[in-house]
């Protein structure tokens, strides 16, 4: 494996993953993308979705809610607000997040309501993907 890069997934409470990987699929707020070694330096924000890290055939998946990714040629650092390994994430948890997001969207000012509703839609989509 010549082409590997450092992948770090950190949430405020702990470091969830730190490994050498060959590719990372990211749910970017402007669309999904895959970061591979040698990628141009980039900072993107995340939407709720599933993040997939491929460490030479071994794939680990995480459910992330929101956050940022810093991409360099040799490293991908994910700063997730909330990240849960896919197998530990339950539908109930996402359902609770959807409820919270719905309430927030309903209470939001008209000019920010779109953002809140998009969050709800993304979460609902994520819930569908869990099956």
Which residue ranges make up the site for other proteins (CB under 8 A)?
Answer: 8, 10-15, 28-30, 40-45, 67-68, 70, 72, 77, 79, 81-82
Of 21 and 97, which CB lies nearer to other proteins in the complex structure? 97
What is the number of H-type helices and E-type strands within the chain?
A: 2, 10
Phi and psi at residue 97, to the nearest 5° = -65, -40
Three-state helix/strand/coil letters over 56-106: CCEEEEEEECCEEEEECCCEEEEEECCEEEHHHCCHHHHHHHHHHHHHHHH
* Cβ 73 to other proteins shortest distance, Å: 9
By beta-carbon proximity to other proteins, the closer residue of 55 and 77 is: 77
Residue number, 2 or 14, with CB nearest to other proteins: 14
Burial class (CB in 10 A: 0-12, 13-18, 19+), 27: buried
Rank residues 59 and 90 by Cβ distance to other proteins and give the closer one: 90
Contact between residue 95 and residue 121 where contact means Cβ atoms under 8 Å apart? no
């Amino acid at each position: 494996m010549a082409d590997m890069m450092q992948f770090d997934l950190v949430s405020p409470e702990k470091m969830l993953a730190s490994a050498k990987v060959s590719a990372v699929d990211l749910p970017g707020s402007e669309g999904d993308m895959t970061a591979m070694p040698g990628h141009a330096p980039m900072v993107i924000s995340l939407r709720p979705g599933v993040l997939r890290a491929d460490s030479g055939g071994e794939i680990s998946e995480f459910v992330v809610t929101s956050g940022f990714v810093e991409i360099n040629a040799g490293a991908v650092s994910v700063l997730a607000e909330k990240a849960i390994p896919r197998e530990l994430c339950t539908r109930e948890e996402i359902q609770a997040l959807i409820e919270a997001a719905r309430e927030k969207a309903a209470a939001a000012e008209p000019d920010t309501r779109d953002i809140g509703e998009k969050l709800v839609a993304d979460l609902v989509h994520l819930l569908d993907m869990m099956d």
